[in-house]
């Protein structure tokens, strides 16, 4: 009797073991098909945070983005804007990203000649009405281009104003991407343009007096003034980089516009300070490289 019970027990254990083995062979530990990798088929795909081909663009900023002095003296020329222009001579960022036809209907330019960083929040508020997938920012030159060194926007205020502008955007459009251009090297623009008699006369009308005033004055006092303006520009660029780095959908150009060596062909032949159509094209190329790069510029 005992032998029969032991035989039945062993048979039952064998049956359970075989059944368990078959179950494990046919299913994963967490259930599902036995096919390799089948359980991973339905895992959510990761969506890249940065889209290198946005379908709409809004531009905010100052006179550079308005194409000031690129076509006629002391006038805006938005058709040659590096950001949203339609001119074949520039091949703007909007044209490169969207195509010429789509760019006309899906890009908007809210930059204002003379604007400073304090004005950027208002421009952002206008831009968000179109719900653009990308916003370009080029601002800061006018914060340094003041009537005097003392009148330049303090760095702490500049930071707060830029943060406020991004907050205005993010309140309405948390997923819109932002491209931020560095402030150009104003001292280099002075050194290039000061050789033009016409340029110096235009400068006297009030273009960036903190840097361009008394253009031929090479005394230590004038040199110190220009150096202080230049240092403020570098401080602004540091702020732009730091604030942008905190936003995962923001890309700074890594100082590319600041480092670009504008020559006479890239400067307006009206004022020898703002970009010409060729200069606007170079700015468009810098922006396009930054936006379509696989990873942000360090």
pLDDT score at 24: 35
Q: What is the pLDDT along the chain (298 residues), one digit of tens a residue?
A: 444 444 554 544 444 444 444 333 333 332 333 344 444 445 455 556 899 999 999 999 999 999 999 999 999 999 999 999 999 999 999 999 999 899 989 999 999 999 999 999 999 999 999 999 999 999 999 999 999 999 999 999 999 999 999 999 999 999 999 999 999 999 999 999 898 888 888 898 889 999 999 999 999 999 999 999 999 999 999 999 999 999 999 999 999 999 999 999 999 998 999 999 999 999 999 999 999 998 887 6
Task: Determine the pLDDT at residue 296.
Answer: 85
Strand (E) or helix (H) holding 178: strand 177-180
Q: Are the beta carbons of 159 and 243 closer than 8 angstroms?
A: yes
pLDDT at 40: 45
With a CB cutoff of 8 Å and minimum separation 6, the contacts of 113 are: 62, 63, 66, 68, 76
Which one is the CATH code of 57-185+231-292: 3.90.1300.10, 3.40.50.300, 3.40.50.1110, 3.40.50.2300? Answer: 3.40.50.1110
Q: Is the dihedral of CA 70, 74, 77, 81 positive or negative?
A: positive
Separation of alpha carbons 65 and 91, rounded Å: 14
| Spans of all domains in the chain | 57-185+231-292
- Predicted local confidence at residue 119, as pLDDT: 98
């Amino acid at each position: 009797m005992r032998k029969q019970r032991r035989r039945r027990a062993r048979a039952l254990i064998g049956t359970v073991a075989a059944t368990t083995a078959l179950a494990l062979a046919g299913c994963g530990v967490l259930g599902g098909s036995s096919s390799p990798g089948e359980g991973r088929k339905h895992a959510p795909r990761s969506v890249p945070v940065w889209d290198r081909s946005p379908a709409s663009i809004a531009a905010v900023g100052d006179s550079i983005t308005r194409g000031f002095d690129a076509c006629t003296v002391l006038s805006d020329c938005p058709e040659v804007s590096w950001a949203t222009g339609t001119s074949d001579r520039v091949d703007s960022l909007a044209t490169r990203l969207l195509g010429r036809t789509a760019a006309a209907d899906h890009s908007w330019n809210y930059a204002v000649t003379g604007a400073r960083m304090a004005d950027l929040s208002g421009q952002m508020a206008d831009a968000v009405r179109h719900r653009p997938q990308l916003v370009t920012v080029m601002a800061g030159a006018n914060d340094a281009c003041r009537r005097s060194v003392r009148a330049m926007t303090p760095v702490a205020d500049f930071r707060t104003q830029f943060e406020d502008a991004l907050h205005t955007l993010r309140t309405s459009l948390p997923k819109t991407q932002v491209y931020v251009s560095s402030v150009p090297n104003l001292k280099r623009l002075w050194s290039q343009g000061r050789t033009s008699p016409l340029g110096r006369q235009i400068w006297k009308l009030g273009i960036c007096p903190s840097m361009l005033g008394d253009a031929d004055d090479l005394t230590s006092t004038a040199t110190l003034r220009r150096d202080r303006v230049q240092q403020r520009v570098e401080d602004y660029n540091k702020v732009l980089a730091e604030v942008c780095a905190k936003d995962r959908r923001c890309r700074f150009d890594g100082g590319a516009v600041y480092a670009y060596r504008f020559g006479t062909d890239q400067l307006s032949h009206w004022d020898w300070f703002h970009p010409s159509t060729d200069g606007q094209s170079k700015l468009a190329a810098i922006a396009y490289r930054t936006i379509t790069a696989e990873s942000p510029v360090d």
